[in-house]
A and B are shown apart, each in its own frame.
Chain A
């Protein structure tokens, strides 16, 4: 008999060492998330994957699954709070979808669609952030960075390079790159690096590939992020 947890009343099996998110993804249960990617160490910063376990809110991507947990996930209250967090991410940066080539394939946007975001609600910060086009193959647009640190983790853990890191703190946090000049072009980042592939938004893009897929045929034009991330739609 495998161990199980319950998510919204549905029995979900898990193996020792799995998190609630791991168990949910394996069972095709969608828990909204942005900073989580099953290929990398869980991070727990976006807090979109917050679920209620025995009455207490926890980040499902970092919380180990424990036999008998009663997990609430797809509730009106949690989804309203997740929407609010998504809106915070939108106003914190400069997310101008019509001008972004990631539009239609962007997970931030797709989560916002999933949660029914009609406006960013909060007042905008319109921060001054740098765009770094110094690399021959890759562009780094910090306006779209949501500090999920997937590139940080991928570069460190998969590419063995540590091209990306975090500096600053609070609302003044920033993504920095591993070169004395502070320019991406002076790092050893290669376009084939995993770090280039994992950005959930349009902060890291490969040059020369923009708008290759026409509107109407992009990932989230017809499929929800829930369908995509739980195997219900075509794979990316």
Chain B
């Protein structure tokens, strides 16, 4: 049992993948990490669906129906769910649109100059349907841990992960705790 690696999944919902980029900023410590974990669904593995995992790390907020499906799949399969980054924690920059009427958003994207030819709002079921507002993931599923930052630094991520993987309550130093 002790040989079994921790199974880890990550994804980005309404985010910019900046947290994932920052994750890569742990640099050579990635070698230490892969000794401890194996990856399930992440942008690194290109696995499309999350299987049973120990830890799921979610970047980005919830801005559309598809986000909810992915988030719920993560919650269902991950023993521990972590919200990483400003967007997952309070909606972040995507939530700037919360002050804008959704109809205005659609018009701006599809109907005004520079939009699609014909100016028609698409009704394709393939397109994820957006919510009125962007929400943090903890308003949709239960979240166990939060790692703030936009993005959190590689050091903060490393500190957080090493605490978590060692079974400690993750704790950041003052300079590692940032909301930006």
Nearest B residue to A119 via CB reads B146
Query: A54 CA to B85 CA in the complex, in Å?
Result: 42
Closest CB-CB distance, B101 to chain A, in whole Å?
9
Query: A77 CA to B146 CA in the complex, in Å?
Result: 21
Q: Is the CB of B93 within 8 A of A99?
A: yes
Chain A 208-236 interface residues, beta-carbon cutoff 8 Å to B: 215, 221-222, 224
If A109-B179, A113-B177 touch, whether A98 touches B92 (CB-CB below 8 Å) is: yes
Nearest B residue to A123 via CB reads B139
> Which residues of chain A have C-beta atoms less than 8 A from B90's C-beta?
90-91, 95-96, 119-120, 124
> Which residues of chain A have C-beta atoms less than 8 A from B91's C-beta?
96, 124, 126
Q: Is the CB of A97 within 8 A of B99?
A: no
Q: Is the CB of A222 within 8 A of B175?
A: yes
If A96-B93, A98-B92 touch, whether A215 touches B99 (CB-CB below 8 Å) is: no
Does residue A116 face the partner (Cβ distance < 8 Å to B)?
A: yes
Chain B 71-104 interface residues, beta-carbon cutoff 8 Å to A: 83, 86, 89-93, 95-96, 98-99
Query: A124 CA to B179 CA in the complex, in Å?
Result: 16
> Which residues of chain A have C-beta atoms less than 8 A from B83's C-beta?
119
Chain A 77-115 interface residues, beta-carbon cutoff 8 Å to B: 90-91, 94-100, 103-104, 109, 112-113
Query: A123 CA to B137 CA in the complex, in Å?
Result: 11
> Which residues of chain A have C-beta atoms less than 8 A from B60's C-beta?
none
Q: Is the CB of A97 within 8 A of B174?
A: no
- The total of chain A residues at the interface (CB under 8 A) is 28
Q: Is the CB of B174 within 8 A of A96?
A: no
Query: A116 CA to B178 CA in the complex, in Å?
Result: 10
- What's the interface size class on B, roughly? 20 to 34
Does residue A171 face the partner (Cβ distance < 8 Å to B)?
A: no
Closest CB-CB distance, A142 to chain B, in whole Å?
11
Q: Is the CB of A119 within 8 A of B138?
A: yes
Closest CB-CB distance, B136 to chain A, in whole Å?
7
If A120-B90, A124-B135, A221-B175 touch, whether A103 touches B148 (CB-CB below 8 Å) is: no
Nearest A residue to B143 via CB reads A119
Q: Mark A115-146, 1 if CB is under 8 A from B, else 0.
A: 01011100110101100000000000001000
Q: Is the CB of B95 within 8 A of A94?
A: yes
Q: Is the CB of A118 within 8 A of B180?
A: no
Q: Mark A5-48, 1 if CB is under 8 A from B, else 0.
A: 00000000000000000000000000000000000000000000
Nearest A residue to B147 via CB reads A118
Query: A104 CA to B175 CA in the complex, in Å?
Result: 11
Chain B residues near A (Cβ < 8 Å): 83, 86, 89-93, 95-96, 98-99, 133, 135-136, 138-139, 143, 145-148, 150, 174-175, 177-180
Q: A98-B179, A118-B145 are in contact. List 16 more A-B contacts (CB 8 A).
A: A90-B90, A94-B95, A96-B90, A97-B179, A98-B93, A98-B150, A104-B180, A113-B177, A119-B148, A120-B89, A120-B136, A124-B135, A124-B139, A128-B99, A129-B99, A224-B174
Offer 9 A-B interface pairs, CB within 8 angstroms, sorted by A.
Answer: A96-B86, A96-B92, A98-B150, A98-B180, A103-B179, A109-B179, A113-B178, A116-B177, A126-B99
